[in-house]
Amino acid sequence: MTRSAAALFVHFLQRNGMLIDANGESRVSNNALAAITLMVAMSDPKEKELMIALIASMLSGEGE
């Protein structure tokens, strides 16, 4: 299930033009994808909004 979720996440990013940044580089490294997938899989469903906010922040480059 975790691999399917990771693949679906990458597909979603690609379809929405969010997989590649302005420099033509991937926004999400393989290590980051693994960490995000595990973080979401292990999170409490009550933390859904927090997980969405964290992922959105990571993709937007905030905090860099």
Domain range summary for the chain, segments of one domain joined by +:
2-60
For every one of its 64 residues, what pLDDT tens digit does the chain have, with 9 covering 90 and above? Answer: 667 877 888 888 889 888 888 898 888 888 888 888 888 888 999 999 999 998 888 877 654 5
Q: Which of 52, 61, 56 is nearest to 26 (CA)?
A: 61
Q: 34 and 6 in contact (C-beta within 8 Å)? A: yes
Report the pLDDT value the prediction gives residue 48, as an integer from 0 to 100.
92
pTM: predicted TM-score of the whole model, two decimal places: 0.66
Going by C-beta distance under 8 Å and a sequence separation of 6 or more, which residues neighbour residue 9? 33, 36, 37
Report the pLDDT value the prediction gives residue 15, as an integer from 0 to 100.
93
